[in-house]
Every structure is written in C-alpha cells, then in structure tokens.
Amino acid sequence: MKDRNNRILLDMEAINAYNATPGNGITRPTFSPEYQGAATYVIDELKKIGAEITICRAGNIRGRLPGAEPDAAAVMMGSHLDSVAHGGQFDGVVGVVTALEAARAIVEGQVNHRLPVDVVIFAEEEGSRFGRGLLGSSAWTGRVTPGQLAAIQDAQGISFTAAMSNAGIEVDDSGELKPGDVRAMLEVHIEQGAVLEKHGSRIGLVEAIAGIRQLNISIHGTADHAGTTPMADRSDPLQAAAGIILAIDQIAKDSGPHTVATVGRITCEPAQVNVIPGRVRFSVDVRDSKLKVLESAVAAIIQCTKTSCSEKGLSFEIDQLSEAEPVTLSKNIIDFLEKKTRSMDVEPHRMISGAGHDTALLAGLAEAGMIFVPSRDGLSHCPQEYSRLEDIALACDILLAAVIELAA
C-alpha cells in the first residue's frame, strides 16, 4: 500500500515537472511541448507494463491491456493531462495516475481479465487552448468531425489538426468510439467544490453531471446626457440589467437544490461616467442535473428579461452561447462503487458534478461512473488546488477493485 502511495506521488511529480509556468501554477496546454512531455511519460510507463499504445482520433491516447478477449468491449479508465493557465497539480492528473497505477497493479498481480482494460488520456478537456472544453472526447465519440477539428483554431490561429502534427502526433486509429467498444468508463477526478469537505467524506460518487446553458443577453436603450436627462425620460439598459441580474440569482435559488446561475461577464457602452449607458451585455451560465429544471430556469430568465425590458421600453437580444445536456451516470456502477468503497470502511457521498467531464460523453456508449476526491477548501483551477495523497490512493484502490470485477 505504501508502494502505491509512493508511485502515485512519483507519477504526479513526473507529470507536473512538465509545466510552462514553474512557480506560478501549472500551465500545460494541449499538444504543447509540456503536454507532450507529460503524455510521453505516461506512455512510457504504460509500455513498461506491456500496454499496447494507440493514438486515437483527435489525439486521445489509449494504453490497452488486451485480456483474454482482445476484441471485446473494453473497460476504460482515465482522465486528462491538459490544464487551464496557472492551474493546479491535480485536475485531470489524478485521474490519469490512478488509472496508470491500477493498470500496473493488474499486471503485477497477474490478474486475469477477459475484457481489455484501457488507460485513456483525453485531449483538450479544459478547452484552454482551442476554446472548447471536452473536445477530445467529443471528437472521439463522433460529436466533432475531423473537418471541424481542422477548422478549430487556437489564439495563434493554429488549427487543432495542425497543432497535433506540429507536435509530431500521428493518429493510429481515426475511428470514432461506438456502442459495443466500451463496456464501462470510470474516471477519478478532484471534486473542484467543497461538498465532500462539508460532509467529511473522502470519496464522492457522481450520480449526474449537470447540464449547462450559457446565454448572452444584450439590452439596448438610449445613451444620453447624465445631467440633462430627467429620470422619467431615460431609457437606461443598465438599470434593467441590474434588476434582471438580481432576479437571475433568485430564479436559481427558487428553481431547485442543485440549480446554479452565474452572471460572470458584463459590458456597458459607452462606459462613461457622465453618460447614461446605451447598451449593456451580460453572460448567464445556468446549470442543473435535471433537464426540466434547467430548461424552466432558463425560460424564467428569458421571461424576466422580456417583461423587464418591455416595462422600460427597451429592446433586447438573447443568444445561446453553448449548451450541454445533463448526464445521468450508471446507477449500476454507482451502486457497485458504493459497495467497493464501503468494503474499505469508507462511507461515500453521492453527489452531482457541477463541472463537465469527458466521462459524460462516454455515458451514452457505456456504463459510466466517476469517483471524486475532496478538493481542499473546494479550490481548483488555481495553484492552491490540493487533494490529499491518501484520498487519491483510496480512489485508486476503489477504481482497481471495480475494474478487476468489471473486466473479469
């Protein structure tokens, strides 16, 4: 057991040595030299245990232990190695090192398995380089075409496809994952919230991953002189926006226990001290694990915008920026992981993930489950991000026990 903790620690240190911003958090954009260094480290470790390495569609990496029935549906486990700018050492990495260590334990323990066991690394999970999260898993599951990958560019105008070839990546298998390819998908991840800390639980089992609707609301009024325009004669979009933003907060609170809504970006024109604003734009991010609840919260926000603008004689536009459907993870897998966790004398906490994960995209193809480890103070995507080694190793033990049984 001590061995396991040590090896996980060494793997994490080795991966995080590949970092574009030493001393200032982890920055490891997809296909950057740092990313390639970290990926190569994991590939080399997988090769040491005899795993067959395949570079799959969109640069997703698969290390396979074939098993007795190499053509059967595989049991997959893994996560991602890319990071946000100045992020932490744990996001994604925890899911890769626990999968690597579980694969080592299977080989070293000479565990017989009928189904192939795959360690996977999904490309561009964060969307930090190419502006779209879950891009590798979206492409692998056929939601993004090779043509789209060739068109998606980073801030320097380098396409996803060109960035891959610049990094020397050659795809061995450009096929998309289909039902029947994957028996189950398991991902260990840091929680990125404080629910587990609050409940004093070392392990979270994810029942559902929240769906997301992101809107941009623009309200148009009339820019005018701040001194000479009487209050009654104004057409001020910022006053309307202020009311709507307060209402959005209340709509989320009234909507359901898991609904969250955020206005994270606001711009005002012409943004002068002595001018009544002419136009205000703000973003809205709404999440819930239940589609109906999510949709009715969004409908309430739209209705509130309509009412508020028409009362004040303002015009408005609402654009949908992006959407992701809520995903329910496999009840069988959750029950099964719960038993495994309890068998280790730990009581898991069932929870909803407010953050998106690659596993959500695999959930349509296979039974999918996620194991969360606590994030200290709920922090993530920052240098302070921290999860305890003992919790990561415990998650690895649960993952290992689950994969052995699923692949048997």
Query: Tokens standing for 143?
Result: 């939601």
* Least Cβ distance, residue 206 to Zn ion (angstroms): 13
Q: How far apart are CA 238 and CA 351, in angstroms?
A: 37
Which residue, 91 or 236, is less far from Zn ion as judged by CB?
Answer: 91
Q: How far apart are CA 336 and CA 284, in angstroms?
A: 37
Supply the DSSP symbol for 289: S
Which residue, 92 or 326, is less far from Zn ion as judged by CB?
Answer: 92
* Least Cβ distance, residue 14 to Zn ion (angstroms): 19
Stretch near Zn ion under the rule CB under 5 A, chosen from 86-94, 287-295, 303-311, 394-402: 86-94
Stretch near Zn ion under the rule CB under 5 A, chosen from 20-28, 88-96, 205-213, 290-298: 88-96
Q: Is 193 in the site for Zn ion (CB under 5 A)?
A: no
Q: Is 136 in the site for Zn ion (CB under 5 A)?
A: no
Stretch near Zn ion under the rule CB under 5 A, chosen from 87-95, 208-216, 239-247, 310-318: 87-95
* Least Cβ distance, residue 133 to Zn ion (angstroms): 9
* Least Cβ distance, residue 125 to Zn ion (angstroms): 6
Q: Is 133 in the site for Zn ion (CB under 5 A)?
A: no
Is the separation of the CB atoms in 82 and 34 below 8 Å?
A: no
Q: How far apart are CA 277 and CA 225, in angstroms?
A: 9
Q: Is 92 in the site for Zn ion (CB under 5 A)?
A: yes
* Least Cβ distance, residue 383 to Zn ion (angstroms): 16
Give the DSSP per-residue string, 53-90. EEEBGGG-EEEEE--S-TTSPEEEEEEE----TTB-SS
**Buried b / exposed e across 338-367, counting CB within 10 Å, b at 16+?**
bebbeeeebebbebbbbbbbbbbbbbebbb
Binding mask 37-76 for Zn ion (x = CB under 5 A): ----------------------------------------
Which residue, 124 or 397, is less far from Zn ion as judged by CB?
Answer: 124
Query: Tokens standing for 248?
Result: 């959005």
Stretch near Zn ion under the rule CB under 5 A, chosen from 13-21, 89-97, 150-158, 362-370: 89-97
Stretch near Zn ion under the rule CB under 5 A, chosen from 23-31, 64-72, 85-93, 372-380: 85-93
Q: What is the largest CA-CA distance in the chain?
A: 83
Stretch near Zn ion under the rule CB under 5 A, chosen from 92-100, 157-165, 234-242, 331-339: 92-100
Stretch near Zn ion under the rule CB under 5 A, chosen from 90-98, 222-230, 344-352, 366-374: 90-98
* Least Cβ distance, residue 138 to Zn ion (angstroms): 15
* Least Cβ distance, residue 255 to Zn ion (angstroms): 26
Q: Is 91 in the site for Zn ion (CB under 5 A)?
A: yes
* Least Cβ distance, residue 180 to Zn ion (angstroms): 27
What angle is formed at CA 239 by the lines to CA 237 and CA 241, rounded to 5 degrees? 65
Q: How far apart are CA 47 and CA 10, in angstroms?
A: 17
Is the separation of the CB atoms in 284 and 214 below 8 Å?
A: yes
Binding residues with Zn ion: total (CB under 5 A): 2
* Least Cβ distance, residue 356 to Zn ion (angstroms): 9
Classify 315 as helix, strand or coil.
Answer: strand
* Least Cβ distance, residue 353 to Zn ion (angstroms): 10
Spell out the residues 6+ positions from residue 369 whose beta carbon is closer than 8 angstroms to its own: 184, 185, 186, 187, 205, 206, 329, 330, 333, 334, 336, 337, 359, 402
Which residue, 92 or 211, is less far from Zn ion as judged by CB?
Answer: 92
Q: How far apart are CA 346 and CA 58, in angstroms?
A: 38
CA 49 to chain centre: 29
- In 167-268, which ranges are continuous DSSP H helix? 195-199, 237-255
Q: How far apart are CA 67 and CA 89, in angstroms?
A: 32
Which residue, 105 or 362, is less far from Zn ion as judged by CB?
Answer: 362
Which residue, 91 or 397, is less far from Zn ion as judged by CB?
Answer: 91
For the chain, first and last CA: distance in Å?
Answer: 23
The footprint of Zn ion (CB under 5 A) covers 91-92
